[in-house]
Structure 1
Amino acid sequence: MKAADVIGSAVANTFRSKTRTILTILAIFIGAFTLTVTTGLGTGINRYIDQTVAEIGADDVMTVAHQAEQSTADDGPREYDPDAVTTRQGPVTQTVDPITQDDLDAIAAIDGVVSVEPVKRIGVDFVEAADGGTPYAISVGSFIPGMEVQLAAGAQPDADADDAQVVIPVDYVEVLGFASNEDAIGQEVVFGLTDATGAAQTVTAEVVGVSEAGLAGTGGSASPNTALTDELYAVQTTGAPEGQSDVYASATVRFDPSRGDAATQALKDDLSDAGFSATTVEDQIGAFKTVIDAIVLVLNAFAVIALLAAGFGIVNTLFMSVQERTREIGLMKAMGMGSGKVFGLFSTEATFIGFLGSAIGVGIGMLAGTAVGGALATSLFADLPGLTIIAFEPVSVLSIIVLVMAIAFLAGTLPAARAARQDPIESLRYE
């Protein structure tokens, strides 16, 4: 009997006992369905997290600042330092020394630093359409090359362009008088801000994109290109006392992530030894992603347990099949069919049962996941555009089918081995 004949015979014999086989397939279906949905959940959430990471910054960027001095209310009054930058998070107050040009030079000299640029914090008073209208309060974020704003329309800001460009939040399109997201592209807006002398100033920029709201909240602020950031900062610091226009709260350091995690950690350690704290995008959102992965892993574990239970069903199904077909096995062996092909016949039956259960489970799981994800996207998660809570990747889907078939094959080895070991004479005498 050729290999193709063995496969054909195994497929044909699968449904000799239809009820028993269908119940076994149903058990496999439940496990494959659950594994498909939970894997899709992890894929969808992690994909959205990756989009959010791209909005926060590039994977080759660190945010560097002087190490903070922390104090609480119990520490008593702190001596005033006019040059320090102070932030407050709950009961904890952090005081950070500003980054100066000397600090930038010191950071640039550290091994592993590709480049370093100061982070220019911009504070604008309002934005309005170029042809006038009602001004609206708005914030302006820091757009680092390599970041990707989640766009509703238009394009990313061009960091190398000489003209001032900006991506405005989708909530500002209508109030600024634009008919649609697409209509806003190519229009001009005016930012109003106050310089260091208290005088009102304005800066005009071209709208190149409209941003959606994101998990990180970047969709709520305007994203300028480098030219607009420099212009806004220059206007903002006009009239500032000498030495105060070139101090910054933090700096952006570029490094080479391809050197590996060990090199990245070594760079962080060197910066720490120099008195700086360094934070990557992975540090900012990595803990959140780890929690999501852990939850999905636990859900997948329940699905695997269901599959293992289905594996015992396969063992039972094939043991009964071997018992019922004892005389048939004896006849096949008496006609010259080797033990290896007998083993292959029954193990192929087990694998085929696993394939049927997994294919049906994965197919229905994808349909159900897509339907539920679409419904949630327009209801519960309507405020998070771009979030597909359940998403599927071809590699993951195929991996589930292969995994289930492997479990089914292993489950079928015991009854298949028993069939292969049977003595043809004794089998032919079996009643």
Structure 2
Amino acid sequence: MRLEYAKYALKNIRHRKLRTWLTLIGIFIGIAAVAALISLGQGMQNAINEEFSKAGADRITIQPAGGFGGMYVSEKLYQSDIDVVNRVKTVDFATGAIIKTGRVKYKEETVSLSIFGIEPDEETRRFIEKVDFFLVEEGRQFKSIDNNVAILGYNTANEKFDRKIRLGEKITVENKDFKVIGIQKKSGSPMHDNMIRITTSQAQELFNLKETKEVSMIFARVKSGMDPTIVAEDVKSALRKDHNVKEGEEDFVVATAQQMIEGFNNILLIVQVVLVGIAAISLVVGGIGITNTMYTSVVERTREIGIMKAVGATNNDIISIFLMESAMLGFFGGILGIAIGLSVSKAVEILAVSAGVTVLKAYFGYELVAGALIFSMVVGIISGVLPAKSAAKMNPVDALRSML
């Protein structure tokens, strides 16, 4: 019996092709928007999680309170803070980094890029070589005796200027010349692929930090076998004591890789929910469109309903037929919407990659497709409830009388 209902509903949908297509527009636009936003949001979340995992689970990051890297905040970190962190018994090693934006000139071109100053000593080199972001593809890492040398991010060397920068060539950073000794592997991180790495002493000189010994961030590695969360609390306690601040009044932020992942995921989730909520408004409009179409169909098929009731069709039979029809409208709209939405998200990913943004990725999962399809069918069914009940309530005598 259900199969007969489905065949009958499909026949009615195919019979009114123009109306069907106009009805589907509202549904597939809404589903397409929702599918595209969820696909991109989940893809970005996966990409960010992957980037943090590259940094290592045994890493802890310390930065000034109120902003990233201390570039736009009043709170500061200094060399003395690195010394404090290194004295924490559960910390294996800590080093600082200076992160600023500077003017970089190559040949006759000048662009603004991130300048990353880091210590050139052996221990720091071993520390960063375990992080995928800093792997060198051409040339070498810093040595302790290096001076006026630079290591370029992949995009900096290959895409930021009209000509590719080669090993041994000269670039000018903030009016000071540097020799290129290394080019990093492409990491997929916009920050690291578009940076220039120099030594801490050179960064201090360029940005007038020699006297203050200011650093933008501190990176620490926990001792083998230690829980990073516990070590992070040890670091907080040591810095609170050194800064003479109470718990909850810290002028710094200490975070493990897992905590940073969770923080970004929470932000992405909020943004995603808001955007999907806005996109879902079009689904409401699409649902109203299905309701309107089904009411029109009920009026047009009054005689048909009367005949079905006259030959024994029950109210439940009539309701089932119309709900099947509205569910099919939702189903077909969902299929179109999913196809369009995922195509749009893939196109956005391709455009983002071409622009050097690799964290914006499309995600294709069975649960996304199934969820969107079920949701569109539910919208269709809900939209068809009132018209279906209206059809079922028809008096067969009155319906047949309309034939006269």
Shift of 1:372: 4.3
**Hey, what does 1:239 align to over in structure 2?**
none
What secondary structure sits across from 2:222 in the alignment? strand
Asked if residue 25 in structure 1 is aligned to residue 8 in structure 2, the reply is no
Gaps of 5+ in 2: 99-115, 139-150, 159-164, 169-182, 198-217, 241-252
**Hey, what does 2:187 align to over in structure 1?**
212
Q: Would the alpha carbon gap of residues 256 and 353 (structure 1) be closer, same or farther in structure 2, given more than 3 Å must change? A: farther
**Hey, what does 1:252 align to over in structure 2?**
221
**Hey, what does 2:4 align to over in structure 1?**
5
Q: Cα deviations across residues 214-273 of structure 1 (Å, max 9, x unaligned)?
A: 234277589xxxxxxxxxxxxxxxxxxxxxxxxxx764337999x9xxx95x88667645
**Hey, what does 2:34 align to over in structure 1?**
35
Asked if residue 118 in structure 1 is aligned to residue 90 in structure 2, the reply is no
Q: Would the alpha carbon gap of residues 293 and 430 (structure 1) be closer, same or farther in structure 2, given more than 3 Å must change? A: same
**Hey, what does 1:175 align to over in structure 2?**
166
Shift of 1:304: 0.6
Q: Cα deviations across residues 342-365 of structure 1 (Å, max 9, x unaligned)?
A: 222111111111111121122123
Question: How do 1:249-288 residues align onto structure 2 when only pairs under 5 Å count?
Answer: 251-253=220-222, 272-273=236-237, 275=239, 278-281=254-257, 283-284=259-260
Gaps of 5+ in 1: 71-86, 109-115, 124-136, 155-166, 178-206, 223-248
Asked if residue 58 in structure 1 is aligned to residue 56 in structure 2, the reply is yes
Larger helix share, 1 or 2: 2
Which AA in structure 2 matches 1:356? F
Contact conserved, 2:31 with 2:338, CA < 8 A, in 1? yes
**Hey, what does 1:397 align to over in structure 2?**
369
Shift of 1:306: 0.7
**Hey, what does 2:112 align to over in structure 1?**
none
Identity %, equivalent residues: 25
The separation in 2 between residues aligned to 1:255 and 1:332, in whole angstroms, is 77
Contact conserved, 2:59 with 2:256, CA < 8 A, in 1? yes
**Hey, what does 1:329 align to over in structure 2?**
305
Q: Would the alpha carbon gap of residues 210 and 372 (structure 1) be closer, same or farther in structure 2, given more than 3 Å must change? A: closer
Q: Would the alpha carbon gap of residues 256 and 9 (structure 1) be closer, same or farther in structure 2, given more than 3 Å must change? A: farther
Shift of 1:44: 3.7
Q: Cα deviations across residues 82-138 of structure 1 (Å, max 9, x unaligned)?
A: xxxxx9976544354455799443xx4xxxxxxx42235699xxxxxxxxxxxxx99
Contact conserved, 2:232 with 2:254, CA < 8 A, in 1? yes
Counterpart among 292, 308, 321 of residue 345 in structure 1: 321
Contact conserved, 1:48 with 1:388, CA < 8 A, in 2? yes
What secondary structure sits across from 1:252 in the alignment? strand
Shift of 1:7: 1.3
> In terms of mean alpha carbon deviation, does 7-16 or 141-150 score higher?
141-150
Q: When the two structures are superposed, what TM-score results if normalisation uses the length of structure 1?
A: 0.58
Contact conserved, 2:85 with 2:239, CA < 8 A, in 1? no
What secondary structure sits across from 2:317 in the alignment? helix
Q: Would the alpha carbon gap of residues 91 and 422 (structure 1) be closer, same or farther in structure 2, given more than 3 Å must change? A: closer
Q: RMSD value over aligned CA atoms? A: 4.7
Number of positions where the alignment pairs a residue of Structure 1 with one of Structure 2 = 317
Counterpart among 377, 388, 392 of residue 420 in structure 1: 392
Q: Would the alpha carbon gap of residues 89 and 367 (structure 1) be closer, same or farther in structure 2, given more than 3 Å must change? A: closer
**Hey, what does 2:172 align to over in structure 1?**
none
The separation in 2 between residues aligned to 1:362 and 1:69, in whole angstroms, is 42
Contact conserved, 2:30 with 2:279, CA < 8 A, in 1? yes
The separation in 2 between residues aligned to 1:293 and 1:279, in whole angstroms, is 20
Contact conserved, 1:69 with 1:94, CA < 8 A, in 2? no
What secondary structure sits across from 2:284 in the alignment? helix
Shift of 1:30: 1.8
Question: How do 1:14-413 residues align onto structure 2 when only pairs under 5 Å count?
Answer: 14-55=13-54, 57-59=55-57, 61-63=59-61, 91-95=74-78, 96-99=80-83, 103-105=87-89, 108=90, 116-119=91-94, 143=127, 148-149=132-133, 170=154, 175-176=166-167, 210-212=185-187, 214-217=189-192, 220=195, 251-253=220-222, 272-273=236-237, 275=239, 278-281=254-257, 283-284=259-260, 290-378=266-354, 381-382=355-356, 384=357, 386-413=358-385
> In terms of mean alpha carbon deviation, does 38-47 or 341-350 score higher?
38-47
Contact conserved, 1:62 with 1:281, CA < 8 A, in 2? yes
Q: Cα deviations across residues 43-92 of structure 1 (Å, max 9, x unaligned)?
A: 3433332233234x335653469xx899xxxxxxxxxxxxxxxx997654
The separation in 1 between residues aligned to 2:375 and 2:225, in whole angstroms, is 36
The separation in 2 between residues aligned to 1:23 and 1:122, in whole angstroms, is 59
Contact conserved, 1:58 with 1:144, CA < 8 A, in 2? no
Q: When the two structures are superposed, what TM-score results if normalisation uses the length of structure 2?
A: 0.61
What secondary structure sits across from 1:14 in the alignment? helix
The separation in 2 between residues aligned to 1:121 and 1:300, in whole angstroms, is 40
Which AA in structure 2 matches 1:34? A
**Hey, what does 2:105 align to over in structure 1?**
none
